[in-house]
Amino acid sequence: MRKFDATGTLAEPPIAPRKAKQNERDEIVVLESAFSQMATRIGEQWRALGQQDRERRELVANISHDLRTPLSSLHGYLETLSLKADTLPDTDRRRYLSIALA
pLDDT digits 0-9 by tens, 50-91:
999 999 999 999 998 888 888 888 888 888 888 887 888 888
> Is residue 100's pLDDT more than 80?
yes
> Is residue 11's pLDDT more than 60?
no
What is d(CA 20, CA 84) in angstroms, rounded to the nearest whole number?
Answer: 85
Q: What is the pLDDT of residue 55?
A: 96
- Please report the domains of the chain, with CATH numbers, ordered by start residue: 27-101 (1.10.287)
In order, the DSSP letters of 38-55 are: HHHHHHHHHHHHHHHHHH
Q: Over the range 18-39, which residues count as b (16 or more CB within 10 Å of their CB) and which as e?
A: eeeeeeeeeeeeeebeebbeeb
Contacts of residue 97, Cβ cutoff 8 Å, sequence gap at least 6: 77, 81
CB count within 10 Å of CB 95 equals 13
